[in-house]
Structure 1
Amino acid sequence: MNLNRYMNLLIPIIAIILGLVCGAIIMLVSGYDPIAGYSALWYGIFGESYYIGETVRQVTPYILTGLAVAFAFRTGLFNIGVEGQVIVGWLAAVWVGIAFELPMIIHLPLAIIVAGLAGALWGFIPGFLKARFKVHEVIVTIMMNYVALHVTNALIRDVITDNADKTEKVFPSASLRSEFFENITDFSRMHYGIFIAIIAAFLMWFLLEKTTKGYELRAVGFNHDAAHYSGMNVNKNIILSMVISGAFAGVAGAMEGLGTFEYVSVKGGFTGIGFDGIAVALIGGNTAIGIILAAVLFGGLKIGALNMPSEAGVPNELVEIVIALIIFFVASSYFIRWILLRFKKEGK
């Protein structure tokens, strides 16, 4: 293993450890028992089959939103609009799920594909503006989050329903839920979407690392001018990157709409899934396997935190502080890398 890859593996691990240690210190200063707090957190993740199922359910959209952010980043773009792409994908999947009655072998894949297309369309707009008019994708994607939120709310109230706050449940033929998972996880909301998320991670890895088009996309990300002079169509690749990134996010929305909730409701604010995907991609080093592991970490912390107030009297907001600290230490990777290299030199 070369030094750079060794560092890329070690830095997130150190960041997680530092985040947990700092979280324990904050608990102590605040008058809470960190051992009891982290024990309750652990039990809330692995203590019962229900908790395990809920953790896997939470991990599923995190993998897909992490892939969405990472794919754009690996090709030189910063997709802050994953949240909006999740929302439109969620709406599109549920709309297909309640508008048609079809055999499951057609209905479920159709709903997921339409969700991916909706997310891809939402990603196409900033990609086109970036490629054609050089409008920075960060600005456009941030604004499109709000457009997605309010447009979907209006569609739910005025088009899909008759001024209701949520839709009916999708038909069973469009649902990702299964009696098998319900039985083995004590009726958690775990669903088949976890397999879709893992397949999506494999597809991202294969596309970027094993195909000519993936090489082109990465080359454009490294240097637009060099890619242009080598004969690559930079603008086309920018658009394609944002479209694929948006498709991953749209499918993440389908996981929520067809699996976790089985309906879509009017939202008073953002879901947070898309924004958490930025942190998942950051901690996962923008690699497929890293994103899966980071999503497991984030999903576990989010679900396990729900057990902390009842079991240890520790506010679950402290887990948000721990997550923020982990992100902070990952963002400070240059400093951690410098310390590791210093120790390496002194050890020689």
Structure 2
Amino acid sequence: MAAIELRKLTKSFGSYTALDALDLNIGDGEFLVLLGPSGCGKSTTMRIVAGLEEPSSGEILIGGRRVNDIPARDRDLAMVFQNYALYPHMTVGENIAYPLKIRKVARTEREELVRAAAQRVDMAHLLTRRPAELSGGQRQRVALARAIVRRPQVFLMDEPLSNLDAKLRTVMRGELKNLQRDLGTTTIYVTHDQVEAMTLADRIVILNKAVIQQIGTPAEVYARPANTFVASFIGSPPMNLLSGQLKDGSFVSAGGPFALEGAAGDITLGIRPEHVRIASDGNGHFRGTVFSSELLGDCTILTVKAGDASVAAKLPPEVGLERGTPVSLSFEAGRMHLFDAATGVRRGEA
């Protein structure tokens, strides 16, 4: 196994900067998730670590060894892709064995290693089938078995679950997390799905526009987002962000004023939907009318609008209000997040 260190990693394509002076340390055995929207630099980072792209500048160290000039095949990495990348003319066993075959591992040893890897992903009973005879989840298990069979220093996983349906993704997330824990292999996992990031990661690296926005455990980035981008990207539904002004001990927004201490000026107030309730006395922090009411089974997401501003509240399932109904919402004390209106950077909590 191996720790990974990225030093001032930069990648440019002409005038376009895909990655801007990224510094990152990944611990030995850590499951690290690179999270962000399309074009943020997460896949570029993985491809550079893999040796599939050359950095414009910066250094990559794996297990303390600088690997910038080492070919991809000699970096002792295994990749799992979104599209599985299985050979259709080979059986499951032959697909799993292929990395060992090209390294000229003896046939007897190869068969033992393939059997062990297949058992880890519950595919030992399907070794003679071909990929076309398998479901999407089974094909992904074959791709995982092929990655683990040669026991690499590092796993690189590029959105490996995105082709699966929602129910199977949930199952595979649990299996993948347990597999990585059992193997103890350093893993870099790329995704744009914040649910995958929150459920899988030891730490999350959130990127946007080629720059790291925040690094932390899932609990840390959820509880204390570094800026409004992270606040709006993490959480389902995402954090409410309310533009307003601090003035004379009050926060003033389209939803009305309420008492709030702080330095005067423009700010963005953040509050997660689960920390919003209906103010039964009508004396809440945000007053408006119901825009939508969505029953999700275990809860209702109520969206209330006042002018151009809106606030979503995650409420008990029995709460259902008609569109246009006047509502006052209260925010839980100590759960409000304050961000600088100009930069989006976190100021603190209220």
For the aligned pair, the TM-score class normalised by the smaller chain equals under 0.3
Larger helix percent: 1
TM-score (norm 1): 0.24
Larger strand percent: 2
Looking at both structures, which has the greater relative contact order when contacts are Cα pairs under 8 Å and sequence separation is at least 6? 1
TM-score (norm 2): 0.23
